[in-house]
């Protein structure tokens, strides 16, 4: 019979051999994953750097445009005030024209009345004079 230590050593050796056989595929998979991550990192670096540069350029342009808009805000504000004043002036002109139109309408009615009354008086006078 074999001594107990030899049996324990054989069991340990077999367990170690099974462990190594199990770990080899895991180690190969981990190695491939590390290589893929490295490739992905390189690709991201190559693709991301130009994108970051473009984004920086776009942000710079947006700041410039924003500054230009801020510069012209006062111009827009003055234009809106002038537009409001123009509206007020047009309203005043409209009221004035309404008043003038009312005066002209009233004058026209009076003129028509005077003309009819004058014609009536002249006709009456001519009838009296012709009838006498």
Domain that holds residue 8: 1-101
Average the pLDDT over 86-97 and give the result.
Answer: 84
Question: Is there a domain that residue 112 lies in?
Answer: no
Question: Is there a domain that residue 128 lies in?
Answer: no
Question: Is there a domain that residue 109 lies in?
Answer: no
Q: 131: pLDDT confidence band, cut at 50, 70 and 90? A: low
Average the pLDDT over 78-102 and give the result.
Answer: 84
Question: Is there a domain that residue 118 lies in?
Answer: no
Q: 14: pLDDT confidence band, cut at 50, 70 and 90? A: very high
Question: Is there a domain that residue 111 lies in?
Answer: no
Supply angle C-alpha 62, 63, 69, rounded to 5. 85
Question: Is there a domain that residue 119 lies in?
Answer: no
Domain count of the chain?
Answer: 1
Q: Does position 127 have pLDDT exceeding 90, yes or no?
A: no
Higher pLDDT, residue 122 or 69: 122
Distance between first and last Cα of the chain: 179
Average the pLDDT over 61-71 and give the result.
Answer: 75
Average the pLDDT over 29-58 and give the result.
Answer: 87
Q: Does position 32 have pLDDT exceeding 90, yes or no?
A: yes
pTM of the model: 0.36
Q: 40: pLDDT confidence band, cut at 50, 70 and 90? A: confident
Question: Is there a domain that residue 81 lies in?
Answer: yes
Question: Is there a domain that residue 38 lies in?
Answer: yes
For residue 116, what pLDDT is reported? 84
For residue 123, what pLDDT is reported? 85
């Amino acid at each position: 019979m074999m001594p107990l230590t030899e049996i324990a050593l054989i069991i340990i050796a077999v367990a170690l051999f099974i462990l190594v056989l199990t770990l080899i595929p895991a180690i190969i998979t981990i190695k491939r994953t590390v290589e893929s991550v490295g490739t992905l990192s390189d690709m991201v670096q190559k693709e991301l750097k130009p994108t970051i540069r473009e984004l920086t350029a776009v942000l710079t342009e947006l700041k410039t445009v924003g500054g230009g808009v801020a510069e012209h805000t006062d111009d827009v504000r003055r234009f809106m005030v002038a537009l409001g004043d123009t509206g007020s002036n047009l309203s005043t002109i409209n009221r004035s024209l309404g008043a003038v139109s009312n005066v002209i309408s009233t004058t026209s009615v009076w003129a028509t009345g005077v003309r009819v009354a004058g014609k009536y008086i002249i006709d009456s006078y001519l009838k009296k004079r012709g009838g006498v």
